Amino acid sequence: MRIHATGIGGAGCRVVNTLAGEYGGRSFLNGAVAFDTDVNTLEQLSAIDPEQRYRFSDEAGGNGLSGDLSRGQALGEEYVSELSRVIDRGTLSRAEGFLLVIGLGGATGGGVAPELIRNLNRLTEEPVYVLGILPASTEADTEIDPAAYRPQAAANTQETLAELTGLATAIICFDNDNWLSGGQQFSSERDRINNVLVEHIAAVFGAGDVDDTTATAQQVVDASDINRALGSDSSIATIGYATQTVKTQQAKSRFGLGIFKSKTPPEVDTSEAVRAIETVIRKAARGKQTLETTDGHADRTLLIVGGPPEWLNRQAIAQGRTWLTSETGSSALLSGDAPDESRDDVFAIVLRSGITPQNWLAEGPKQS
């Protein structure tokens, strides 16, 4: 699915910059734009073309909004047309959807995104998804993580999500707390966590990104599958992603057992393939999610299984689909495969939409 990614505010801009740096050459990333009131943040976005980094509003004096969401909302109303024109500089006719990336606890992203979505909904019929990054609970404690201290983050998150409901096509959430452990501080782990987030997003939207050298999928995942899975009612969505290394001809070549990859796919033991597929599906479904759910249930689910073509056992994928239907209780479960001869692992993606969040989205921030 070809997406046009727009980062708004510091957190969103940094994530889109990581996305452009890692996947800028892939066709699923149709464009990357960064908007912020903080000139210092924009100057550090080395993977985004300078013409696509845009500072707006002189009111902030080139600095951020210090968590003042009401100021961000006012700037959204004032600058929405200007920001929309910047997005329109790209090849939007090729985009199959828009992805607005924001830190839910911030002021710039949370303030500007709702008004920008309203305008995009007037200008295009394509879906407008939000990738909303939840603040870490340590950000509310100046003693635990003073470098990331944002006392308004929790309140901003609740208000921003309320504003997005009914506007965004769907809201994919990423909970920073989920990827911190053992007293880790978000400020020192931010780059690692952003890489994890980008890997999950690229796995979903890049699943159908193929070229002439890629083996043909039995069930191609296209934009319509992703759209149907995410829905159109501002549902909250979460992503699970898992991999498992397997033996391939390519892996053998790297260890000196052959210079060129054989044109004939290596034989794979059926039982090994079945175990590998079953394992990654269960890990993707029950392992760490971008946002944890109360019971694993979802209104809609998308399963994508990929890796070396010879390892994509059809029976195992079908069995995994049956198991996942029971696991999620979804009335609609879509699936597809993504053969990739360049990989030496099999992977599974489980996208759930219409979930009940387990974290403080509903119950207030958890204590550190």
Does residue 78 have a known ligand-binding role?
A: no
The span from the CA of 35 to the CA of 239, in Å, is 26
Residues in the chain: 368
Residue from 223, 239, 246, 225 nearest 307 by CA: 246
CB 334 within 8 A of CB 301: yes
Does residue 107 have a known ligand-binding role?
A: yes
CB 6 within 8 A of CB 98: yes
Does residue 194 have a known ligand-binding role?
A: yes
Residues 6+ apart with CB under 8 A from 49: 32
Residue from 118, 107, 95 nearest 66 by CA: 107
**How far is the CA of 128 from the CAs of 29, 51, 95, 96, 122, in angstroms?**
15, 23, 11, 10, 11
Does residue 121 have a known ligand-binding role?
A: no
Residue from 32, 38, 108, 98 nearest 230 by CA: 98
Which residues contribute to the annotated binding site? 107-109, 139, 176, 194
Which residues contribute to the annotated binding site for GTP? 107-109, 139, 176, 194
